[in-house]
Amino acid sequence: MSGLLWCVKHNCSITGSGNKIRRYYVCESLRRHGRKESDCPSIKKEALEHFILDLLKQKIFTLERISDGFKYLISTKQTEETNTQNELASLKARIAKLMKEIDGLNQGMIDSGLYPQSTMKLVAEREIEISELKKQLSDIKENKSHTVFNFSGNEEKTVRDIQQQIYGILDNESPDNQRGFLRYYIDKIKISGDSMDIYFKFHDSPDNSQELVAGVGFEPTTFGL
Ligand SMILES: [Zn+2]
C-alpha cells in the first residue's frame, strides 16, 4: 500500500520496508532521520494491510455507498446523453438553416439571371461550413457508439454484485491488482502517529471532496514491531 499511506504527523509518505521474513511500513521521516529524530512506529505490513482491507469492506464499500456511486454514474451518463442529443440537434438545425440559405441564394441568382462573385462566395462559404458541421456530427456519433451506456436491470442486485466483486478483489487478488484497484478509488490513507486514525479520500464519487474517518483503534501491540 505504499503510495497510499500517509503520515499526518510528519506530512510524508509511509512506505514498505524490510525483507522476506520481516516486512513493515515505515514513515519517510523515520527512514531519513532515524529513531532519535522521529518517534513514528514501524508497522507490521500484513497486520496493517489486513486491518485496512477489512475497514474498506466494513466501512467504505458499503451497499449504501456503492448504491450512491452507481446512481451518480447513471445520472452522469444520462446527463451526458442528453447533452449529446442536444448538441446533435443543434448541429442538424444549423446545417438545415445553411442549406436553406444556399437554396435562397441560388434561387435568387437563377431568378435574376445574374451570378455575381459576391453571391457565389456566400454560397461557397456556407458549403464549407456545412461540410465542417457534418464532420462534427459524424465524430460525435462515432464517439458515442463507444461510450453508450444503458442500464435496465435490477439495481439492488447489481449493487450487491458489485460489492461481491469488490470483496473478491480485496480478499483474493494479487497485491499488484489490489494496488491498482485501491489507487483508483482511494487518494490517501492518512495515519496519525499517535491516534492511528485512518482517513480515506475518494477520487470518484458524488462528494469527492469528502474525507472519511473510517478507522480508529489501532492496537500498537498488534501492529507495532
Ligand atoms: Zn511519521
Please name the amino acid found at residue 17: S
Sign of the torsion angle spanned by Cα atoms 65, 68, 70, 73? negative
Q: Specify the DSSP element, H or E, that contains 212.
A: strand 211-215
The Cα 97–Cα 102 span in angstroms is: 9
Q: Quick one: cell of 132?
A: 465542417
Q: Which residues of the chain have pLDDT under 50?
A: 209
Query: How far apart are the CA of 9 and the centre of ligand 1, in A?
Result: 5
| Burial classification of residue 9, based on how many CB atoms lie within 10 Å of its CB (0-12 exposed, 13-18 middle, 19 or more buried) | middle
pLDDT at 165: 92
pLDDT at 199: 66
Note the pLDDT tens digit of each residue in 192-225.
Answer: 765 656 666 665 555 554 555 555 556 555 565 5
Query: How far apart are the CA of 191 and the centre of ligand 1, in A?
Result: 9
Please name the amino acid found at residue 40: C
Q: Structurally, what CATH architecture does the domain formed by 77-147 represent?
A: Orthogonal Bundle (1.10)
- Domain boundaries defined on the chain: 5-64+163-223, 77-147
Query: How far apart are the CA of 124 and the centre of ligand 1, in A?
Result: 69
Query: How far apart are the CA of 24 and the centre of ligand 1, in A?
Result: 14
Query: How far apart are the CA of 50 and the centre of ligand 1, in A?
Result: 20
Query: How far apart are the CA of 121 and the centre of ligand 1, in A?
Result: 72
pLDDT at 71: 85
Name the residue with cell 501491540: 221
Q: Which residues surround ligand 1, an ion (CB under 5 A)?
A: 7, 9-10, 27, 29, 40
pLDDT at 96: 98
Query: What count of other Cβ atoms lies within 10 Å of the Cβ of residue 90?
Result: 11
CB within 8 A of 123, min separation 6: which ones? 102, 105, 106
- Whole-model pTM? 0.64
pLDDT at 214: 54
Query: How far apart are the CA of 54 and the centre of ligand 1, in A?
Result: 23
Query: What count of other Cβ atoms lies within 10 Å of the Cβ of residue 26?
Result: 21
Query: What count of other Cβ atoms lies within 10 Å of the Cβ of residue 30?
Result: 21
Query: How far apart are the CA of 189 and the centre of ligand 1, in A?
Result: 13
The Cα 184–Cα 187 span in angstroms is: 8
Sign of the torsion angle spanned by Cα atoms 133, 136, 138, 140? negative
C-alpha triplet 23, 26, 30: angle, nearest 5°: 140
Q: In 26-62, which ranges are continuous DSSP H helix?
A: 28-37, 45-55
